Amino acid sequence: RLKPFNRLQVILQHLKMSKHTDSTAEVLLEKRGDAGIITLNRPKALNAVNLSMIRQIYPQIKSWEQDPETFLIIIKGTGGKAFCAGGDIKAITDAGKLGDRLSQDFFREEYRLNNAIGTCKKPYVALIDGVTMGGGVGLSVHGHFRVATEKTLFAMPETAIGLFPDVGGGYFLPRLPGKIGYYLALTGFRLKGRDVLKAGIATHFVDSEKLPALEKDLIALKSPSRENIADLLNSYHVKSKVDQEKEFVLDEHMEKINSLFSANNMEEIVKKLKQDGSPFAIKQLETISKMSPTSLKMTLRQLREGASMSLQDVLTMEYRLSQACMRGHDFYEGVRAVLIDKDQSPRWKPAALEEVSDEFVDDCFKPLGNNDLKL
């Protein structure tokens, strides 16, 4: 006979299994037509992704990838406001303070999922309607197709909370045109709507209200090839007229972004911005001065090194950085200032770029031996 505790576990396990199909589940996984569909279902939390969601999505992607009856994977968010606003930072913060395993497991399993998306053999279509930041970028940007809408709001705001643009940011950001990726990573600048396409983050742009029809048409495709899927997405893309005439928000600043953000180190970038003295440069200085100096130095090096690395090597490097942040001070202080107390005045330690030594930054990049991320 089962001991009382074991019996409870069995009951809980049953409840968990039945949760998959009901509308209160945090992530819905279903097969419709030839498509596997992942729906992030935490609208109140802007579909922020937590460890239990990651643990459901990862094996499902792996099994659809092997399934001869599944020809594409679609991922989307519920609630109309967000695709996914990021990772469940508060849970990680609490765990990190307690030295709980979650602060290791979350990043390890999240990055494994990012890699599964980046290496997925089946066409992967992310409908990035609404807020798409941090962890939400990791669930979309590494897939074959990213469909933005006029409601898409993209950002990698990690330097403001003492973290760095992870989830493979070190891979995709330095590969964007010019120095856009460096600019987005260091300042947390937000791109909206069609600009997400123009920056090279989205592959297609579709009116938000057309997404249900697009999804229906994707599901109706019979054993489609990647080309069939691209053709369908293109047919929606060309019909979209929203903000078509508008020029790219960063167009007029691109020359400055490319020259100012090409420096080898943060001090040099700051020096260049000061020397430039234009309204644009002054605004960037103001923004950068609010960020964690440690995060800024870590991030610049992450992108410079990631530019010539494979996605797998980048994720391995980022896992080391994530654990350095968990050991440090700024991540907890940033989360406190921005997400918990919301006083927006983090007290960074060290407080100035000059005080963050190269030795300290080197240390963050060191291998973790047996604890390294294995992909």
pLDDT per position as a tens digit, 37-88: 999 999 999 999 999 999 999 999 999 999 999 999 999 999 999 999 999 9
Write down the pLDDT at residue 15: 57
Is the pTM of the predicted complex or chain greater than 0.75?
yes
Q: Which among 96, 134, 135, 170 is annotated as catalytic?
A: 135
**Gap between the Cα atoms of 301 and 316, Å rounded:** 14
CA distances from 71 to 141, 159, 220 (A): 19, 38, 11
Q: Is 109 known to be catalytic?
A: no
CA distances from 337 to 290, 331, 333, 344, 347 (A): 11, 10, 6, 5, 8
Q: Is 166 known to be catalytic?
A: yes
Asked whether the predicted pLDDT for residue 126 surpasses 50, the reply is yes
Helix (H, G, I), strand (E, B) or coil at 186: helix
Out of 3.90.226.10, 3.40.50.1100, 3.30.10.20, 3.90.180.10, select the CATH number for domain 25-371: 3.90.226.10
Average pLDDT on 305-311 reads 98
Q: Is 33 known to be catalytic?
A: no
Q: Which among 36, 86, 87, 328 is annotated as catalytic?
A: 87
Q: Is 158 known to be catalytic?
A: yes
Pick 12 or 303 by higher pLDDT. 303
Q: Where are the beta strands (DSSP E) in 113-210?
A: 124-128, 131-133, 145-148, 153-155, 191-192, 204-205
153, β-bridge pairs: 131, 192
Pull the structure tokens for residue 33. 């037509």
Asked whether the predicted pLDDT for residue 17 surpasses 80, the reply is no
Q: Which among 158, 195, 318, 330 is annotated as catalytic?
A: 158
Asked whether the predicted pLDDT for residue 186 surpasses 70, the reply is yes
CA distances from 193 to 145, 196, 202, 219, 273 (A): 16, 6, 10, 25, 28
Per the CB < 8 A criterion, the answer to whether 61 and 117 are in contact is yes
Write down the pLDDT at residue 374: 96
Whole-number average pLDDT of the chain: 95
Q: Which among 34, 110, 129, 166 is annotated as catalytic?
A: 166
Asked whether the predicted pLDDT for residue 10 surpasses 90, the reply is no
Write down the pLDDT at residue 18: 46
